[in-house]
């Protein structure tokens, strides 16, 4: 999901979790199966069905089609849900992604219910923390500027429109962390146009982001076993990454670790903190595997050579990671200089 701000900016909303009952609309019931299920054969049919359902669920909003370019130049089609009382911000759902779920056999009523709940969560997130009147006021927004890592080659078009700097085969780009609730996280990309409005250069943005991001997006390190145990998206127990004991692992577990942040969003940027210094003190030599834009995997040197690990990253990117979340197909070898 994303949000539109004016005509120049895109505000992203990442849903984190929805509790039972969140976003319910008392007078709305999703469409049942039956004849509807047999009349939807194309993405156009599906979009019409979603449009009809959203119009019923959000009668005070206008529903409009939109095309969105996401990370790694991935293009999505969707529908915006724009409150008629507020023409500045509008959440959007991607119909092409939900159509894939429908084709895989997920019931239409289930998909519609999920879409409605997600939209309600996004609206709630906005109401609790987004003041669009402050976006162009640099003095009010500067403490919310953060950075994230993206693939330089796959985002070559994007990088012509946003302030950035190179980092290995990646690029550091900037965003505003506008709102975070139990429902999700809302962020706004910093474009060249917005930076020009503020009257700031890339160096200023980097200095601010280097200070803000570790505070607003606290880095953490967890055993890789937490991924397989379904704990990656749980709140880490430690407040900071440097309290993690890299030498202490449970019997039978490999000493492999996941680096992310407490919101599990854009967590790969945690390697830009002082985290690598802490890791080097514990592990001496190790490899960084870019699992996605949200997390990095740390593998001690003795568990695999860089060329084999690089091939592993490439294979996982091609089969397990959504295209818009791929960070890199390289493996980064790190060591402590004597």
Q: What is the pLDDT along the chain (338 residues), one digit of tens a residue?
A: 443 333 334 445 454 443 333 333 334 454 454 434 458 889 889 999 999 999 999 888 888 888 888 999 998 888 888 777 664 556 778 888 899 999 999 999 999 998 888 888 776 665 555 566 678 899 999 999 999 999 999 999 999 999 999 999 999 999 999 776 555 677 889 999 999 999 999 999 999 999 999 999 988 888 887 665 544 444 444 444 545 666 666 777 788 888 988 888 999 999 998 877 777 877 878 999 999 999 999 998 888 888 899 999 999 999 999 999 999 999 999 887 65
Number of helices and strands in the chain (H, E) = 10, 14
Whether 114 contacts 137, CB under 8 Å? no
- CA 196, CA 193: separation in Å to the nearest integer? 5
Q: Name which of 329, 333, 334 is nearest 151 in CA terms.
A: 329
Task: Encode burial over 298-320: b for 16+ CB neighbours within 10 A, e otherwise.
Answer: bbbeeebebeebbeebeebbeee
Query: In DSSP terms, which residues pair with 64 in a beta bridge?
Result: 80
């Amino acid at each position: 999901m994303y949000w539109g701000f004016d005509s120049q900016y895109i505000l992203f909303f990442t849903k984190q979790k929805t509790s039972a009952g969140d976003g319910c609309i008392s007078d709305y019931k999703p469409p049942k199966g039956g004849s509807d299920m047999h009349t939807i054969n194309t993405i156009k049919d599906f979009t019409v069905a979603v449009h009809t359902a959203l119009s019923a669920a959000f009668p005070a909003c206008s529903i409009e089609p939109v095309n969105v370019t996401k990370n790694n130049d991935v293009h999505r089609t969707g529908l915006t849900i724009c409150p008629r009382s507020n023409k500045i911000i509008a959440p959007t759902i991607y119909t092409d992604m939900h159509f894939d779920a429908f084709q895989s056999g997920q019931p239409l009523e289930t998909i519609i219910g999920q879409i409605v709940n997600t939209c309600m969560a996004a609206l709630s997130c906005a109401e609790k923390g987004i003041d669009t009147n402050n976006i162009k006021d640099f003095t009010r927004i500067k403490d919310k500027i953060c950075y994230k890592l993206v693939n330089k080659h796959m985002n070559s078009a994007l990088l012509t429109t946003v302030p950035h700097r190179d980092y290995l085969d990646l690029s550091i780009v900037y965003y505003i962390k506008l709102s975070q609730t139990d429902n999700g996280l809302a962020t706004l990309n910093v474009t060249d146009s917005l930076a020009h409005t503020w009257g700031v250069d890339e160096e200023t943005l980097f200095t601010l982001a280097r200070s803000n991001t570790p505070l607003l997006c606290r880095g953490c390190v967890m055993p890789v076993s937490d991924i397989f145990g379904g704990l990656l998206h749980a709140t880490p127990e430690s407040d900071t990454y440097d309290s993690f004991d890299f030498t202490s692992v449970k019997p039978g577990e490999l000493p492999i670790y996941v680096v992310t942040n407490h919101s599990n969003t854009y967590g790969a940027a945690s390697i830009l903190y002082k985290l690598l210094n802490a890791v080097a003190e514990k592990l001496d030599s190790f490899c960084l595997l870019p699992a996605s834009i949200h997390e990095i995997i740390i593998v001690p040197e003795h568990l695999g050579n860089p060329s084999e690990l690089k091939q592993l990253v490439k294979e996982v990117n091609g089969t397990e990671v959504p295209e818009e979340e791929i960070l890199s197909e390289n493996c980064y070898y790190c060591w402590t200089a004597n």
